[in-house]
Amino acid sequence: MSDDYLQASRDHQLRGWVTGQMLTGAGYGAVLLIGIGLFIGGIYGVSLLLPEESKQAPAPMGSLIVQVATVA
């Protein structure tokens, strides 16, 4: 087998191209996963800086609950 890339068979060229595409996709996936992890870690880090009273406050979504009275 020759070390000259230009003399590589079509099968070897295709395998090299496919492998490069798969590695590129895996790299993009790894960057996205690390980015999501850093974002979640940043939110967690900010939550550690908040005072304890803010963690014990009632949920703000509770004020959006509408109670409907039923007529019997």
Per the domain annotation, does 29 fall within a domain? yes
Whether 1 shows a pLDDT value over 60: the answer reads: no
Look up the pTM and report it.
Answer: 0.61
17 part of a folded domain = yes
Residue 41 lies in a domain: yes
Rounded mean pLDDT, 37-59: 89
Q: Does 1 map to a domain?
A: no
Cα dihedral 26, 28, 34, 36 sign: negative
Q: Per the structure, how many domains does the chain have?
A: 1
The answer to whether residue 55 scores a pLDDT higher than 70 is: yes
Report the alpha-carbon distance of residue 15 to residue 23 in Å, rounded: 12
The per-residue pLDDT for range 33-46, each reduced to its tens digit, is 999 999 999 999 99
Give dist(CA 5, CA 61) in Å, integer.
63
Instruction: Determine the structural domain holding residue 16 and report its residue range.
Output: 8-64
Q: Is residue 70 part of a domain?
A: no
